[in-house]
Amino acid sequence: MLMAHPAVLKDLIAQYEALTLLGAKESTPGAQQRLADISYTLCVATGTRDVDMALIAARHRLSGARPEDDSLLREPAPVGTVSAA
């Protein structure tokens, strides 16, 4: 699957949030269509079928979106020892 550039994802998220904040769902047909287009593009760019999942996936792909804590990825301590984590 092709991956959208983070700058593109950031722009799509910003446009979606702005249109949602301005109430595009209840606005003019043009604003409704623009929101639908942005939603569709987010889904295509993230390989999802739902705009909420697309937003989650897009935010996850942005740099700095992942937490620094990788404790779940560390190997478990041997049995009978205490972990320093």
Specify the pLDDT at position 3: 80
Q: Using the CB atoms, write b or e for 14-37: b if 16+ within 10 Å.
A: ebbeebeeeebeeeeeeeeebbee
Model pLDDT, residue 77? 58
Which residues of the chain have a pLDDT value below 50? 69-73
pTM of the model: 0.71
Domain ranges of the chain: 6-61
In 1-85, DSSP assigns E strands to none
User: Which residues neighbour 39 within 8 Å (Cβ) at sequence distance 6 or greater?
Assistant: 16, 51, 54
